[in-house]
Amino acid sequence: MIDRAMTIIDITPSVSARTPMFPGDTIFSATRSWEISGECPVNVSEVVMSTHTGAHADAPLHYDAKGKPIDQVDVSAYIGPCAVVHVIDGAPTVTREVLSAALDNISAVAPERVLVRTYDRLPDLWDENFTAIGADAIDWLAEQGCRLIGVDTPSLDPATSKSMDAHNAVNRADMRILEGLRLDDVAPGVYELIAPPLKLEGLDAAPVRALLRTLP
């Protein structure tokens, strides 16, 4: 486990062509546009990627045709105290009861941000059977004043979902979402989250460099 004496914990997986993606979504690629040589003093690269690659923030526009794009959301939701909870039981869905019990074990008060670790180790390949978050769990978090939920999976909802129940519950509560985090070795507890998304104008999501800072 990571030593709590550390100040910063990077919970962002590296992004490359090996990054698992939803089937049919854009695979990351990078090419060198300019290269240091006798005629050029710098390296510059071009990248092609989905807005949902690796650690990313979903904008309301992702699940609501009239929702705000990522450049218009309040970034304060992505910065501040958060709880990391473990639900590594292989169940298909994290329910309200399970999430409530996990939070009770680490904090007397539900914080405004909750990150849910469902993997013992983040897989290197696409996993269509990842653990989803139940809409009832989202509704309960909203009742507690939670502003953001983050997961180490590609989505809050099951890979085959067409109804997007968890995302719609987030939308009703005007919460924010982080997906694709790497929470390997992060102990349950209360931390400070620092994970603002890139300000991509008019888009449905944006990559983040997600960090946790241990609290004194």
Catalytic center residues: 62
| Long-range residue pairs from 73-79, CB within 8 A, at least 24 positions apart, any chain | 73/176, 73/197, 75/196, 75/197, 77/112, 77/113, 77/147, 77/148, 77/175, 77/176, 78/148, 78/176, 78/178, 78/193, 78/194, 78/195, 78/196, 78/197, 78/208, 79/192, 79/193, 79/194, 79/195, 79/196
Residue 48 phi, psi dihedral angles, 5° rounding:
-125, 125
Distance (Å, whole) CA 182 – CA 11: 5
Which 3 state secondary structure label does DSSP give 167? helix
Strand partners, 46: 31
Residue 20 phi, psi dihedral angles, 5° rounding:
-65, 140
